[in-house]
Every structure is written in structure tokens, then in C-alpha cells.
Amino acid sequence: MQVTDSGVPRCSSCRPSLKLRTNAFEAAYKKATALRGDVKGLKNQWLARDRADPDAGYSITLWENEADMRAFWDSKKREEAMALLRPFFLNQFTVTQCEVRSAQRE
């Protein structure tokens, strides 16, 4: 993936149950983001499915700054949205925060 915006990226990696293959997880993800609504500082967000492991997925978010990212992480809004997704998780859910070291524009 080429980074096209500056900001603070966060990547959430999850390995949902087999329901991911039926697109139920993607539908729940879209519902969760709609429920969550607009979030201060969130510049962009992507949901990706691992080609080698169709049961694995990644949510990548790009933030204006770390303070906005942390404020959302600790918010009730996030907790309510995550409640829709938790039934899909199988003990493998990791979150990493990244520092962009190089960026390219297409």
C-alpha cells in the first residue's frame, strides 16, 4: 500500500470466524462505521481482506494526530461500534500504531 496522506496510521488485525467468508463481517463493519459516524481527526479508513488467509482482515485508519486517535480509542462511540464486531473475533485481535517513514504519491 502506498501512503498518500500524512498522518498517524493505525492498523488493526483480526482473524474473525468463518463468517468473514460470507461477507457478514464486512456488513457488520459497514454498520459499525455508520453507527460510529464522523470522528474528529479520522482522515481515512480501509478494510482489507488477506488474500492468503480469507479469514483474516485488516482495518487501517489514518488520523490527523495521535491525540484524536487516542481520544476515539477511549470513547463510548468506539465501544458501541466494536460491540457489533466482537462476535466475529477468534482470540486474534491486535492493534499497532505505525509511524510513516516514507510516503509516495501515485
Domain count, the chain: 1
**Does 58 reside within a domain?**
yes
HSE of 42, CA atoms in CB hemisphere, 13 A:
18
Q: Which residues of the chain are under the pLDDT cut of 50?
A: 1-5, 17-18
Model pLDDT, residue 92: 66
Question: Domain with 62 in it: what CATH number?
Answer: 3.30.70.100
Domain extent at residue 37: 8-97
Q: Which of 42, 28, 13, 37 is nearest to 83 (CA)?
A: 28
**Does 105 reside within a domain?**
no
Model pLDDT, residue 32: 95
CA 87 to centroid of chain Cα atoms: 16
Q: State pTM to two decimals.
A: 0.74
